[in-house]
Amino acid sequence: MTKEMSNRLEGVRKGVVLPIITHGNPIAVLGITGEPAAVGPYALLVQKVAELFIQETIRQMDQEKQARDLEFFVFDWLHHRGDLQTLMERSEFFQIQMDLYSQVVMFRAGDNVLGLSYQDVKALRRMWDQKGDALFVRWGQGRLLLLIKDISKCRLEQKLKKFMTDVIQMLHVHICAGVGQAVTGGDLRNSYQQAERACEIASEKKPLVFEEDLRLEMIIQELRKTTREKFVKRTIAPLSKEAYLLETLQHWFENDMSTSKAATRMHVHKNTLHYRLKRVEELTGLRLNRAEDLVLLYLGFVLLQGKR
């Protein structure tokens, strides 16, 4: 754009104008003002950099779209949405043999949002297995799903512990994991539901939970919130404002109801612990030497701790 052209054309200044071309198609125009002979070489450099940047952005967008398409497919697969024939056809597009996958693991990042990109998920897949047999799928904010093929529980536990340690170092965020049981025939819905249940129970103290190891937790998780609140109110609620009594119960339960061990752990005299347990009985109306009352007290304590 010469000085003469800038005088003749409205809105034009002296300089260089170059097209931005991606995949053979012009998609934008780059304009740099100045003496054409002086800014020309710089304009060519900026043009190439802009084209590379746009091409990389488009490539990343394509990868993200492919990742989202995979997430939608896995969602329909695990929730049995659509007929089996359609799912099979979609699985061929992703080159996934559905009946080879037998188990689901769900990861959760607590209150944090993982915000994983396609490249992050790709890196996690390589971190898990260089073969790339496992499927990693983003599962909403703060969650990640892992679909795996047949593997022994012992081996899986070892791999998960190492993997979770590596993820914490990579993402600088604490994660928990719930593991569903292995299923046959490619029907992963049950394993997914179990993994989700186990993941909800997993905590910072116990970050890895196998659903098949759950016992009391299964019952507690099935209770409605209102039922839990009523149970606490009818059992251990009188102790909710007595922090020292709740602490006493915690140490007593953790030490298998051994008064001497609990007293040593708390650095108090054995008689002091006896007095506190007696106080627990007085406030709750539950006797610690009765099996039924002891069960009620323990369950109430667990439910109360879950609310705190």
The residues, ordered by sequence, that sit 6+ positions from 187 with a Cβ below 8 Å of its Cβ are none
Best CA proximity match to 228, nearest among 308, 284, 115: 308
Q: Residue 308's pLDDT band (boundaries 50, 70, 90)?
A: very low
Q: What is the per-residue pLDDT across 9-29, written as a single tens digit (0 to 9) for each?
A: 888 888 999 999 888 888 889
Q: What is the pLDDT of residue 8?
A: 87
As a whole number, the mean pLDDT across the chain is 88
**pLDDT at position 306 over 80:** no
The stretch 96-113 carries a mean pLDDT of 84
* % of the chain at pLDDT higher than 70: 96
Token pair of 69, please?
Answer: 């398409």
Q: Mean pLDDT across the stretch 242-257? A: 93
pLDDT of 1 over the 90 cut: no
Residue 115 token pair: 């915000």
**Res. 279: pLDDT tops 90:** yes
- Top-tier CATH class for 224-307: mainly alpha
The yes-or-no verdict on residue 218 having pLDDT over 90 is no
Number of alpha carbons in the 13 Å side-chain half-sphere of residue 71: 18
Give tens-digit pLDDT for 150-197. Answer: 889 999 999 999 999 998 888 888 889 999 999 876 678 999 999 999
Query: Class of the 97-220 domain?
Result: alpha beta
Query: Of 141 and 241, which is predicted with more confidence?
Result: 241
d(C-alpha 290, C-alpha 162), whole Å: 44
Tell me the pLDDT band of 246, cut-offs 50, 70 and 90. very high
State the alpha helices, DSSP H only, in the chain: 3-8, 36-79, 84-93, 118-128, 153-171, 189-201, 216-222, 225-234, 243-254, 259-266, 270-284, 291-307
pLDDT digits (tens, 9 = 90+) for 43-81: 999 999 988 888 888 887 887 888 889 999 999 999 876
**pLDDT at res. 173:** 83
List the chain domain ranges. Answer: 3-62, 97-220, 224-307
Residue 147, burial from CB neighbour count under 10 angstroms (0-12, 13-18, 19+): buried
Assign 130 a pLDDT band (cuts: 50, 70, 90): low
Model confidence at 113: pLDDT above 80: no
What is residue 216's predicted lDDT score, i.e. its pLDDT?
84
Res. 111: pLDDT tops 50: yes
Determine the pLDDT at residue 82. 64
